[in-house]
Amino acid sequence: MLELQNISFNVGPRKIIEDISFKFEEKKIYAVLGNNGVGKSTLARIIMGLDGYKGNHGGRIIFNGEDITDYSITERAKLGITMAWQEPVRYEGLGVKEYLTLGKRINLSDAELIEILNLVGLNPFYLHRKVDKTLSGGERKRIELASLIILKPKFAIFDEPDSGIDMMSNIMIERIFKMITSNGGSVLSITHREEIAEIADEAFLICSGRIKSQGDPKIVSEVYKSTCDNCAHINVPVEDMDNEVKL
């Protein structure tokens, strides 16, 4: 469904991502694990086609048989490739209901909207709030999650899905992911938390820009715990690892 072919990404002489290939299948949940600075978010930005991360990774990205390597972020969004952004909510001042239904362009009843608000941990009262500065950061993020679910993405990336949100239980995160897969999408969740990775159907572990382990999330999570805690490879450029340079 979405295939990464030989993706590499350098910043100056430093290799951030080193020849990553991976096939994501339809309606599945994936998790990427890895310590700080190993290249997880960089990979997400490459998939999204963000400025500075498009056309300079040497590989190809294929989505449902279409080569989207040179597509802009907007063209990818039109195909349903999306990301839960860290700095959510763009339309200040709109009512939550208008915001979630894109100004009523998406036809959803109040009952359906309330069900989605409930899924992200907000009570029905929020339907009558405004998307403005009176919302807390966590509330904004939950509303952004609700809007992402409503858009029925084909490929949704969550960078630390619970960041900035208290009381976002694993069960809640799992329900959000499963709602997306039941609508026909796939999920890629970037996380440090093994228990969130274990929600996935398949996980992979990145170490210094390379896939170090992939497969059953419980096994990948074990590899993560046993080899990445206190790892000296955090932020070490790949070429240094190759030369076994000690920090």
Binding site for ligand ATP (CB under 6 A): 11, 16, 34, 36-42, 52, 235
- The one-character DSSP state at 9 is E
Please answer whether residues 153 and 180 qualify as being in contact, where contact means their C-beta atoms are separated by less than 8 angstroms.
yes
Q: Which is nearer to ligand ATP, 157 or 179 (CB)?
A: 157
Residue the block writes with tokens 């009176």:
134
How, if at all, do strands 155-159 and 81-84 pair? Answer: parallel
Work out the angle between the directed axes of helices 110-119 and 137-150 (0-180°, nearest 10): 120
Q: Least distance (Å) from ligand ATP to the CB of residue 93?
A: 31
Q: Which is nearer to ligand ATP, 45 or 76 (CB)?
A: 45
| Separation of alpha carbons 227 and 225, rounded Å | 6
Q: Which is nearer to ligand ATP, 11 or 102 (CB)?
A: 11
Three-state SS across 20-77? Answer: EEEEECCCCEEEEECCCCCCHHHHHHHHHCCCCCCCCCCCEEEECCEECCCCCHHHHH
Sign of CA dihedral 186, 86, 4, 245: negative
Q: Least distance (Å) from ligand ATP to the CB of residue 233?
A: 12
Please answer whether residues 181 and 155 qualify as being in contact, where contact means their C-beta atoms are separated by less than 8 angstroms.
no
Q: What is the DSSP string of 165-221?
A: -TT--HHHHHHHHHHHHHTT-EEEEEES-HHHHTTSSEEEEEETTEEEEEE-HHHHH
Q: Least distance (Å) from ligand ATP to the CB of residue 212?
A: 13
Q: Which is nearer to ligand ATP, 54 or 154 (CB)?
A: 54
Q: Least distance (Å) from ligand ATP to the CB of residue 192?
A: 6
Q: Least distance (Å) from ligand ATP to the CB of residue 45?
A: 7
Q: Which is nearer to ligand ATP, 130 or 192 (CB)?
A: 192
Q: Least distance (Å) from ligand ATP to the CB of residue 219?
A: 21
Q: Which is nearer to ligand ATP, 98 or 160 (CB)?
A: 160
